Amino acid sequence: MTTTLNKSVLFALIAGLGLPGVVTGDFYGLDWEFIHEGDQGATVRLYAMMESGGRLDLVGGNSFQNLELSSPDGFYQNNVGGPTSRQINSNFFPFVPSLEWDSYVTIGALYQDGTPFGENGLNDVGVDWSTFENGGTLVADTGSWFVGLDQQQGEAQLVNGIGGYGVLIAQLTVFYPQVSFSGILQGRNAEGQAWQVALSDYQVGVLNPPSPGGLAVLAIAGLAGSRRHRG
């Protein structure tokens, strides 16, 4: 993806926030699906939920609404992984099994090979990943991760574990069952109209700490900090 496209996407993020004519009713909120529980913590996948036929193109932050992703006890980070799905090589899972539970951000695609899509066109600009890669809070005041407007991975898919349509924006392994998100999401609805929402301290969490019997999902209110975990 070219520098020109990077700049145009960031301009849309900065200029579009709060402008009239941008649809916001097609975004239903954030939700997560429990995937795995192990020594690294509880692994969940965080989705932007929306109507069938909708899509997500960008997750980011700007001077109006910072981007922040945190959990009170931090995130598990694997040394072989990376901050986005572009650095997650699923071919390494047999040799480094814990890599499968790495914490990273994305749009749609799970891994470097684009699973469950044919390719992974995720890009990012203006985000310092260093604190997040050490298990701490991800913060950016002008940055984003995004895909091209015609890339299939941005299209909402049925999430069976949630029971609605959504686009994956992160896989997170946490030691405390709560995640806080602040930032801007933008995409298009089934009719092709652009939508954009700004969220501040949006909380998703579980009723009880992880247990072998599984997790009950609940959206909760509150504020979160972070602490380092890496392995």
Provide the pLDDT for residue 24.
63
Q: Which of 116, 98, 97, 96 is nearest to 106 (CA)?
A: 116
Provide the pLDDT for residue 177.
80
Q: Is 132 helix (H, G, I), strand (E, B) or coil?
A: helix
Q: Which of 134, 116, 127 is nearest to 66 (CA)?
A: 127
| pLDDT for residue 148 is more than 80 | yes
- Would you state the structure tokens that stand for residue 40, as one six-digit string? 């690294």
| pLDDT for residue 208 is more than 70 | no
Provide the pLDDT for residue 25.
64
Which of the four pLDDT bands, split at 50, 70 and 90, describes residue 23?
A: low
Rounded CA-CA distance 129/6 in Å is 18
Rounded CA-CA distance 103/174 in Å is 8
At residue 103's C-alpha, the angle toward residues 28 and 170, to 5°, is: 20
Provide the pLDDT for residue 19.
42
Beta-carbon count within 10 A of 158 CB: 10
Which of 22-31, 146-155, 206-215 has the highest average model confidence (pLDDT)?
Answer: 146-155
- Would you state the structure tokens that stand for residue 196, as one six-digit string? 């954009």
**C-alpha dist (Å) from residue 229 to 46, 136, 159, 226:** 19, 8, 28, 10
Provide the pLDDT for residue 204.
84
Rounded CA-CA distance 48/69 in Å is 14
What percent of the chain stands above pLDDT 90?
72
Provide the pLDDT for residue 84.
98
Q: Is 171 helix (H, G, I), strand (E, B) or coil?
A: strand
**C-alpha dist (Å) from residue 140 to 34, 81, 95, 137, 218:** 26, 21, 33, 10, 27
| pLDDT for residue 215 is more than 80 | no
User: pTM for the complete prediction?
Assistant: 0.83
DSSP per residue over 192-222, as a string? Answer: S-EEEEEEEEEEEEESS---TT---EE----
